[in-house]
Structure 1
Amino acid sequence: MAEHDKVKKEVSLKMNFILNSILAASNFIFPLISFPYVSRVLKAAGNGNVNWATDFVAYFAMIAGLGIPTYGIKACAKVRDDRKKLSHVVQELFIINIVVSLLSATALTVCIFTIPKLREDKKLFMICGLIIFFNLIGMEWVYKGLEKYKFITVRSMIFKAIALVGMFLFVHKESDYLKYAVLTIFASSASSVLNLLNIRKYISFKKTGPYEFRKHMKAVSVFFAMSCATIVYTKLDSIMLGFMINKKEVGYYHASVKIKEILVTIVTSLGAVLLPRASYYVKNNMMDEFRRISGKAINFVMVLAAPLMLYFMIFATEGIYFLAGPEYTYSIVPMIYIMPTLFLIGLSNILGMEMLVPTGREKIVLYSVIAGAVTDLALNLIYIPKLGAAGAALGTLVAECVVLIWQCVVLRDEIRGLFKNIFAWKILLGLLIGSASCFWVKLLPMGNTEKECFIKIIISGILFFGSYGVTLLVTKEKITREIFDSVIGKLRKKKN
């Protein structure tokens, strides 16, 4: 019976990972599909306007969230088997969220009407500010804590598809950047309305006892501080570029970041799925299970992130030219600088969100992120005036190195055992063979038009990832072999 439950949990975890990968990727697939079109219609300046406003408002959305989007997952996962307790926890966190969201929205409104650079485009900033309201009513942390990834994924994909169609119908000229902003907010947040309507299936809003807001505040404050520090070095680059240089430079920077963002969401999807499961294991003192999934997660990230990082560094020019066009040539170097963060973020996400947070060591994550934020701020002040978008990318790369090193030092005794079963030489050999198999594609006598870059990406991608995967299978790399056997097993079942 215990073995049956273990298999059932494993299947559930794999399905949650697949669904969350789709969900996470969809958050960037919409802008990634739309970007080749929008970049040519709105140009670098128009794109820079929308991205700058979105990143600026992100600070206020972060304040409004108060760390609840992460803490809420952990809190809900612990009491998910008791509807009454779950309802009580959700009510307490939702009330806190309402109060802080109102304060944050008020502060944003004051800034929009008093800061000259914001007042110039107040409609755009007000549109982007709607994200605060949608985040509040969406309560996505409840669904993630309960591992309801199917519902989250399906409704999210529907709204993104509607927004994508709307973009091609309504965004036709440079002055349509406000319409693009509306559609971007709709794609990412309209499903929050369905979340609110559906939430009564899992909780009740009927008060069941006295509220104890204070018991949440200590943990919430730590997660909030983590969010503050993280957003400093993930969004500060754009804000500083906009103020120190111009919004066109923001457009160049965001073009280089687009590809990285979708790849990061795929790499970190496993960590998002594992947080509620890991919290549940720790709460029930199932430490062997906790260590098992932690080891698998680290192995998975190394196998997946390393080839994605290297491939898109080698073919950065083709990627940028295909997605954005020759106007975005200045995005190529920033993209090369920022690609190694795929590997760094993937590992720090597992160490932080799947190992430190479930075991109650959020403060260590906070300190590592603060160190990264300070590093990023200092390097931005030095390099942005000299290098522009490339300087911002360089600052982010070093900041992510600092975060990962900090966490590795703290967890050195625990992760030593987890890394024993990971054979890095197999991954390195796969990368070497993959690179050798496709590098000749760059030497083909072809130009850099969209069509030619697309052909290069298709040929090189098949060669690189095909050679890499075959190498890992031949050398019997553990996680690759598991995935391969699982896929083959399912195909045989269907055939039979």
Structure 2
Amino acid sequence: MGKSIIKNYLYNNILLIFNLIYPFFTMVYVNKIFSLETIGEISFALSIITVFISLSSLGIPVYGMREIAINRHDLKKMSKIFSELLTLNFISTIIFGIIYFIIIYFYIENSKNLQIYLILSINLLLNSFLLEWFYTGLEEYEYITKRNILVKIISFIFMIFFIKTEKDVNLYLIFLVLGTSLNGFFNIYNSKKYVKFSFIKVKLKDKIHGLKYFYFQVIIGIFYNGCDQIILGLQSTSTQVAYYARCRQLIVVPIVISSSFTKTLIPRINNIVNRLFVK
């Protein structure tokens, strides 16, 4: 039996509320320390990293969630899916990581800005290990919620204790990366409770066929919601990007709230539909 939808929904909303509040605490604290120019440059770099993370994902977050939800009662199939998608995502991350480093090497001239892009690239390189799709497919919303909150609280505590002046910007970036990437270490370690990873040959043709529709949605999403800050940053100043990024945080609030219940139901729907109509 799957987990309670109501319980999942409650945990998902706890995480949702926390994720809506958390940026405001960090924003208030960071605004007192860093200049608008620095904040704008960080926001611009984050927007580029986000695009590369989306491109390297290959649509696996949605596809993988569906496949895990469908096969979560079959350890052998689930382990095979997990191993294939983790391997494929790791390979794609390396490829897009190389492209990213080539671009920043030729186009970023300021040494301070280059350090920002290099530190934030850790998020890109470790993205394949986040495995949110795996735990969402299993409907492990309690684990997802507790882990996310714990990691971000630890990251914020480190910021308060160690970030004091503008010179601490690199340390701030490390803690920012920690607030995301540390989840991956917990996820990889915890995954041993559910699946057995094995190094297997990925059938690229079959996977590309299965992923192409999901990847097309990713590409559309990048054009719709991922390029605005990049375009603004290329055509204006870092200060203007900083103002825009802060306003954008408020705009996405109703969007996130409206999608919460749908996100909770999708794994269960996939599992039920597969049992009723496929098998």
TM-score, length of structure 1 as denominator length: 0.53
The aligned residue for residue 205 of structure 2 is 214
Does residue 248 in structure 1 map to residue 239 in structure 2?
yes
Return closer, same or farther for 1:37/1:279 CA change in 2, 3 Å cut-off. same
**Pick aligned residue for 1:145 from 112, 121, 137:** 137
**Pick aligned residue for 1:179 from 166, 171, 174:** 171
1:294-327: per-residue Cα shift (whole Å, max 9, x none)?
xxxxxxxxxxxxxxxxxxxxxxxxxxxxxxxxxx
CA contact (8 A) 2:33 2:164 kept: yes
Q: Supply the distance in 1 between the matched residues of 2:111 and 2:95 (Cα, whole angstroms).
A: 20
Does residue 202 in structure 1 map to residue 202 in structure 2?
no
The aligned residue for residue 38 of structure 1 is 30
Local SS of the residue matching 2:179: helix
Does residue 233 in structure 1 map to residue 224 in structure 2?
yes
TM-score, length of structure 2 as denominator length: 0.91
CA contact (8 A) 1:138 1:195 kept: yes
Return closer, same or farther for 1:264/1:65 CA change in 2, 3 Å cut-off. same
Local SS of the residue matching 1:81: coil
Q: 1:267, CA displacement in angstroms?
A: 2.6
**Structure with larger RCO (C-alpha < 8 A, sep 6+):** 2
Q: Supply the distance in 2 between the matched residues of 1:43 and 1:257 (Cα, whole angstroms).
A: 19
The aligned residue for residue 314 of structure 1 is none
1:6-27: per-residue Cα shift (whole Å, max 9, x none)?
xxx6x81111112122234434
The aligned residue for residue 256 of structure 2 is 265
Q: Supply the distance in 2 between the matched residues of 1:285 and 1:113 (Cα, whole angstroms).
A: 53
Q: Supply the distance in 1 between the matched residues of 2:158 and 2:52 (Cα, whole angstroms).
A: 27
Amino acid aligned to 2:134: V
Return closer, same or farther for 1:47/1:205 CA change in 2, 3 Å cut-off. same
CA contact (8 A) 2:93 2:127 kept: no
CA contact (8 A) 2:93 2:124 kept: yes
The aligned residue for residue 85 of structure 1 is 77
Local SS of the residue matching 1:191: helix
Amino acid aligned to 1:153: T
Return closer, same or farther for 1:111/1:15 CA change in 2, 3 Å cut-off. same
**CA RMSD, 1 decimal:** 2.2
Local SS of the residue matching 1:179: helix
Does residue 224 in structure 1 map to residue 215 in structure 2?
yes
Q: Supply the distance in 2 between the matched residues of 1:106 and 1:83 (Cα, whole angstroms).
A: 34
CA contact (8 A) 2:88 2:202 kept: no
Q: Supply the distance in 2 between the matched residues of 1:201 and 1:219 (Cα, whole angstroms).
A: 27
1:415-466: per-residue Cα shift (whole Å, max 9, x none)?
xxxxxxxxxxxxxxxxxxxxxxxxxxxxxxxxxxxxxxxxxxxxxxxxxxxx
| Identity %, equivalent residues | 25
CA contact (8 A) 1:21 1:265 kept: no
Q: Supply the distance in 2 between the matched residues of 1:210 and 1:135 (Cα, whole angstroms).
A: 21
CA contact (8 A) 2:151 2:183 kept: yes
The aligned residue for residue 67 of structure 2 is 75
Does residue 104 in structure 1 map to residue 96 in structure 2?
yes
The aligned residue for residue 270 of structure 2 is 279
Return closer, same or farther for 1:182/1:25 CA change in 2, 3 Å cut-off. farther
CA contact (8 A) 1:25 1:265 kept: no
Amino acid aligned to 1:60: F
Q: 1:126, CA displacement in angstroms?
A: 1.1
Deviates more, 1:102-111 or 1:15-24: 15-24
Deviates more, 1:34-43 or 1:249-258: 34-43
1:50-95: per-residue Cα shift (whole Å, max 9, x none)?
1111001111111221110111101111111100010011111111
Q: 1:31, CA displacement in angstroms?
A: 1.8
**Pick aligned residue for 2:53 from 61, 68, 89:** 61
CA contact (8 A) 1:28 1:261 kept: no
Q: Supply the distance in 2 between the matched residues of 1:210 and 1:191 (Cα, whole angstroms).
A: 27
Return closer, same or farther for 1:131/1:210 CA change in 2, 3 Å cut-off. closer
Q: Supply the distance in 2 between the matched residues of 1:132 and 1:231 (Cα, whole angstroms).
A: 16
The aligned residue for residue 26 of structure 1 is 18
Q: Supply the distance in 2 between the matched residues of 1:120 and 1:128 (Cα, whole angstroms).
A: 13
